[in-house]
Amino acid sequence: MHKRTKALDIKPKVKQRVWERDNYQCIVCGSPYAMPNAHYIARSHSGLGIEQNIVTLCQVCHHNYDNTADRGIYKDRIRDYLMEQYPDWDEDELIYRK
């Protein structure tokens, strides 16, 4: 496995901490039918698999975030949530760099 692939992957330990941080529910709609596997900065854009870049979303919200014209609305909501959780949060630190 390449270093980049490892860095972007979400490890089970990270998923567990995110799941707990997000109170076991989608951070957008509150659905308990959610998973801690959504990257704020997408893997395709070298988004790291770290707590500060991962949130819990239900299938509907995750789809809407990834595939609809409402992406900007979801991105703003997720960014605001992550900034609340991590006062020193910085988007530049969420990207894999060689």
Per-residue pLDDT tens for 62-90? 999 999 999 999 999 999 999 999 999 99
Q: Look at the block and give the residue holding tokens 């900034």.
A: 83
Q: Which helix (H) or strand (E) holds 38?
A: strand 34-39
Q: What is the pTM of this model?
A: 0.93
Per-residue pLDDT, 1: 64
Per-residue pLDDT, 98: 77
Per-residue pLDDT, 33: 98
Sequence-distant (≥ 6) Cβ neighbours of residue 65 within 8 angstroms: 38, 57, 71, 74, 75, 78
What whole-number distance in Å separates Cα of residue 28 and Cα of residue 97?
29
Per-residue pLDDT, 90: 97
Bridge partners of residue 35, in order along the sequence? 57
Report the chain's mean pLDDT, rounded to a whole number: 95
Identity (one letter) of the amino acid at 88? D
Q: How do the domains of the chain map onto residue ranges?
A: 3-94
Per-residue pLDDT, 37: 96
Three-state DSSP class for 30? Answer: coil
